[in-house]
Amino acid sequence: MTHRAREIAAATAGAALAFACSSTEAPAPAAPAPAAASLTYFRDVKSIVDAKCVPCHTEGGIAPFALTDPEVVASMHASLADSIASGSMPPWPPERACAPYKHDRSLTEAEVATLTAWSAAGGPVGDASSAPAPAASPLATLTRVDRTLVLPEPYTPKTSPDDYHCFILDWPDAAARFITGFGVQPDQAAIVHHVIAYAVPPEGLPALEKLDAEEPGPGYTCFGGPGNGALGATRMLGAWAPGSLGKDMPPGTGIRVEPGSKIVVQVHYNTHGGPPVADQSSLALRVDDAVEREARTLFFTDFRWVRDRTMRIPAGEKDVAFSFAYDAVEFVSRTSRGTFPPGQALTLHGAGLHMHTRGARASLRVERAAGDSACVLSIPRWDFHWQGSYDLAAPLRLEPGDRLSIECHFDNSAENQPTEDGRKVPPRDLNWGEGTHDEMCLGWVYVTQ
């Protein structure tokens, strides 16, 4: 073992792989274990680690150490096995029983069995020549980049460890275009934890300019979203998290951006691993003049929670639940502001969920008019730091009369409070809001006709 391998093994023992690969669901029961004596890193393990761990665990990545050195991986075999057993690796929050998704990065039963048995054998490295040819990554990819939009100037995070900041970018086209693929090129990958981009239409620009003017420097602080409903009919263009290579939208679909719009980019910076540094990340976009079917990413919630602040979560309560259901076709027609006419069936391609730090679990379902139901997305153990959008392997058809339902559970007990200055904050009553110490129960769906 090299001196560097010993250093990393000692520094990361016990917690090793838990940081960057924090799943919210324990792995499925392992398949019968392979013969441990015959397993080696190069022949049996490297391809799994490369596909499921290295996208985060690479030099300069969001994870605190790289997993590209065979001796380092071998020295950490026991921690790797512990992470698999606890379900902390790799990060894949959706519940398996809900629905199958494209680009699933969780471990299969066979992969769990292989890694566990290899660790039990002591993590032998083996012969490099026995490594199989690299397999295609299970992650989605962005097939082409037509436009790169860079943050207006370098920004150094001001709050630690988390800083949520929105930046305003110009959209140059004088005619409507369609975003058909979305990705991010992080400048400082070690601190860029997630990125979400929105198109703000011309009518929302006065409110956007006001938000920008209220805070010195580029952009403005934005924890929950880009403007809490004050920016008009914003359109979510895409979301990115570490390990993502960007992705194309479903074939033939795209999100319209009107001329005169601005692009608002929300960046979540996390500086847990060291001092903040200046970042100037960029968006990588696939852009087309036309698509077969216009798409929208639409937010779904009970607007009374927002307008009337009826989503009260009392201090100290361990399980507070809120749910809401509404005719899916009618809801999409109303919130799309003319994109989708009323009364016409829709196709649901993907979905996401959003809560803040007291979220415990959440789900989105379709309740069919015929009486049956379909699970769209279920996050059984919420982790605010691992949010994403998930593309269904088989899109769902939404017919008039079908209802979309959301349910969120919150834990506002003393044990589940965030930490400030090294101490847990005391519980207080919570309600809907944009701030760190507010909450949300929000879903979103990517739909077309």
Sorted by where each starts, the structural domains of the chain and their CATH numbers stand as 3-130 (no CATH), 147-291 (2.60.120.310), 296-448 (2.60.120.230)
pLDDT for 423 equals 84
Q: What is the 3-state secondary structure (H, E, C) of 132-161?
A: CCCCCCCCCECCCCCEEEECCCCECCCCCC
- The pTM of the full predicted model, rounded to 2 decimals, is 0.79
Closest residue by Cα to residue 97 from 306, 293, 375, 302: 375
What values do phi and psi take at 16, rounded to 5? -25, -75
Token duo for residue 188: 């400082």
For residue 7, what is the enclosing H or E element?
A: helix 3-12
Q: Reduced to 3 states, what is the DSSP secondary structure of residue 60?
A: coil
Count Cα neighbours of 245 within 13 Å in the Cβ-side half-sphere.
15
Cα 410 to the center of its chain, rounded Å:
19
Count Cα neighbours of 385 within 13 Å in the Cβ-side half-sphere.
20
Spatial separation of the C-alpha atoms in residues 56 and 62, rounded to whole Å: 6
Q: DSSP secondary-structure letter at 336?
A: T
Task: Give me the sign of the Cα torsion angle 63, 67, 71, 77.
Answer: positive
Angle between helices 77-86 and 109-120 (to 10 degrees): 140
Per-residue pLDDT of the chain (449 residues; tens, 9 = 90+): 333 333 333 333 332 322 233 333 444 444 455 555 589 999 999 999 988 888 778 887 667 788 999 999 999 999 988 888 887 778 789 998 999 998 888 888 899 999 999 999 999 999 999 999 887 666 667 899 999 999 999 999 998 888 999 999 999 999 999 999 999 999 998 888 889 999 999 999 999 999 999 999 999 999 877 875 667 778 999 988 776 778 899 999 999 999 999 999 999 898 876 789 999 999 999 999 999 999 999 989 999 999 999 999 999 999 999 999 999 999 999 988 888 999 999 999 999 999 988 999 999 999 999 999 999 999 999 988 787 889 999 999 999 999 999 999 999 999 999 887 778 889 999 999 877 778 999 999 999 99
Spatial separation of the C-alpha atoms in residues 8 and 57, rounded to whole Å: 13
Contact status, residue 148 vs residue 252, Cβ threshold 8 Å: no
